[in-house]
Structures are given as structure tokens and as C-alpha cells.
């Protein structure tokens, strides 16, 4: 099975900072990579699909990129409402459709 490894597991940054989260797939998954945001006590929300396509309604400060089997979620300017845990997920044709272990983002 393909493993999805996120780093870091948590981070603390100041308001306005640029924040980067990385997700590495253990095998090639093309661009079948999604990012979800889960705010405390809330339901996960789809942010990005296809490694870099923004879901409708998601602020433009969020962006995603791919380099081979390495994927990055970037928040260009951290806002208070971005406090959440972020998960990557592979969603190609073959199960299991694995999530990364999550990255908790806090305000410093």
C-alpha cells in the first residue's frame, strides 16, 4: 500500500507568516493528491485537489504544488481562522485511499 507521510506533525507560526506543509507519497500517485482542513471540533473540509486546484470558495492564500512524489500545501499569510489540522490524501483509482497523519497549525 502507498503510504502518505506529512511533515511537520505540528507547527506554530505568527499571523501573516508563510506556512508550508509537506506530504510525501511512498510511490507515484500522479497528481491525485488532496488537502483537507479540519478546524477544532469541526468536520473536514476539502481545500485542494489535483495537487494544486483550489476548491470553490477556498481563499487564495492557500495553494498546493507537486514535485514528483512530494506535495506542498502553502498558506501565504497565516490568518487566525487557519488554525486547524491539515491532512493530505491520495485519491487515485486504487484503494486504500490513505490520509497523511495530519499537521496541526497553531498561532504563535
Maximum pairwise Cα distance, the chain? 39
**x/- letters, 51..90, toward other proteins (CB under 8 A):** ----x-----------------------------x-x-x-
Query: Considering the complex, what minimum distance in angstroms separates the CB of residue 108 from other proteins?
Result: 23
Separation of alpha carbons 5 and 17, rounded Å: 23
Beta strands 103-107 and 10-13, pairing class: parallel
Residues at the contact surface with other proteins, assessed by CB under 8 A = 1, 32, 34, 36, 38, 43-46, 49, 55, 85, 87, 89, 91-93, 95-102
Amino acid at each position: 500500500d502507498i503510504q502518505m507521510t506529512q511533515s511537520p506533525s505540528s507547527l506554530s507560526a505568527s499571523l501573516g507568516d508563510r506556512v508550508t506543509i509537506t506530504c510525501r507519497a511512498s510511490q507515484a500517485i500522479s497528481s491525485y493528491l488532496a488537502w483537507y482542513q479540519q478546524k477544532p471540533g469541526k468536520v473536514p473540509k476539502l481545500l485542494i485537489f489535483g495537487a494544486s486546484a483550489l476548491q470553490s470558495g477556498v481563499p487564495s492564500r492557500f495553494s498546493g504544488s507537486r514535485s514528483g512524489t512530494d506535495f506542498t500545501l502553502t498558506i501565504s499569510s497565516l490568518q487566525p481562522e487557519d488554525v486547524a489540522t491539515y491532512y493530505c490524501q491520495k485519491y487515485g483509482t486504487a484503494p486504500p485511499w490513505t490520509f497523511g497523519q495530519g499537521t496541526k497549525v497553531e498561532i504563535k
